[in-house]
Amino acid sequence: MFIGHFAPAFIAAAISPQSPRLGTLFVAAQLVDWGFFALALIGVEKLRVDPAASVMVPLDLYHMPYTHSLIGTGVWAIACLAVVALGRRSLFAGMLAGLVVLSHWPLDWVVHVPDLTIDGDPPRLGLGLWNYPAIAMPLELALTGAAFAYYVSKTRGPVGPPLVLLAVMLLLQAINWFGPHPEQAGAFLYLQALFAFAILTAMAVWVGENRWFHKRGGLAFGEQ
């Protein structure tokens, strides 16, 4: 899953005026993937190109205990919770950010072939919807679209920035699905992924700074 991971970020950003900014929540949504590709760059976590790995994703994610185990994801979530709670001086904001990080694992579990773990050791888990594009693709689009619509409906501001963000998300997702597959794993592949996350995060910062939470009575509150 790629843009579907940002669905919890859109929802969390629209829950309350005390929610973290959308840019912060976009980082939280993909924090374990930021960690995974950074660790892959230095050889701590590992993947390899394997066209037989699944129908949609030709990557064998065979060693990622620190980011994509359930316990590992939980550690990243707690760290994010602490940083956001301290930075915002709000346990509520920290808990929202931590839950967005934690959402990464169950969303991956739905689509990944069995390569996820509880603690880094077998059994390996995953429902494997990557082998069923006719289900996985509409599911990801529906999840993202519904969360985006919720965010726009609960916030106020220029409609242009969020629509541009959504368009770039869909473009990057289309490239992910239909573009040429990598021939080998390596630094170029990992940096490509990190660059895509950085683009979307920068755009989410822009969107979040141009929208305000809408509350009953017609009052709009700026994000803190």
Residue range 118-167, pLDDT digits in tens? 999 999 999 999 999 999 999 999 999 999 999 999 999 999 999 999 99
Mean pLDDT (the chain) is 94
Residue range 28-77, pLDDT digits in tens? 999 999 999 999 999 999 999 999 999 999 999 999 999 999 999 999 99
Q: Where do the domains of the chain lie?
A: 3-207
Distance CA 23, CA 28 (A): 9
Residue 215's pLDDT band (cuts 50, 70, 90) = low
Model's pTM, two decimal places? 0.94
Alpha helices in 14-123 (DSSP H): 22-29, 31-41, 70-88, 91-102, 104-111
Count the Cβ atoms, other than its own, within 10 Å of residue 117. Answer: 19
User: What per-residue confidence (pLDDT) applies to 1?
Assistant: 87
Residue 138: exposed, middle, or buried by beta-carbon count in 10 A (0-12, 13-18, 19+)? exposed
